[in-house]
Amino acid sequence: MSPEDRASIQIALAESFVDSAVDYASIAERVRRFDLKAVEEILYSEVAPICFSNLETPVPSVWTGFKDDWLLSEIAKQKTAREASRVRRYFDTLKIAWLRYSYGYIWKEITSHL
């Protein structure tokens, strides 16, 4: 998968974490041509750790979409931090398991439109 494809998947999946009606059919259409296991992994290990807090706050700050440059930059920072620290990798493994549990409905919604 090219870096451009990965970025387009990340941007599409981030729409699942906005505080407005989510168009899961549109997200599914944008990711359907890629390997679904890889897309699911990107959702929970790259996008959700950055975006989930928007759904956890009483008054979410992102209603219509995350800024693409900000999102991709935060994902890159997260990847660099994981690579640099064994403790961070361990912590993130636990966090990703929690995100899969807490936000499992997102993947189910996306796949229901494939």
- Please report the pLDDT score of residue 56 as a whole number: 63
- Provide the percentage of residues in the chain whose pLDDT is more than 90: 78
Q: Which helix (H) or strand (E) holds 80?
A: helix 68-84
The model's pLDDT over 17-70, given as tens digits with 9 standing for 90+, comes to: 887 789 999 999 999 999 999 999 999 999 999 998 876 654 444 445 678 999
Question: Which residues does 92 contact at the CB level (< 8 Å), separation at least 6?
Answer: 45, 49, 78, 82
Report whether 106 contacts 54 (CB < 8 A). no
53-58 CB contacts, 8 Å cutoff, 24+ apart = 54/17, 54/18, 54/19, 55/17, 55/19, 55/103
Mean pLDDT (the chain, rounded): 90
- Please report the pLDDT score of residue 63 as a whole number: 45
Question: Distance between terminal CA atoms of the chain?
Answer: 20
- Please report the pLDDT score of residue 59 as a whole number: 47
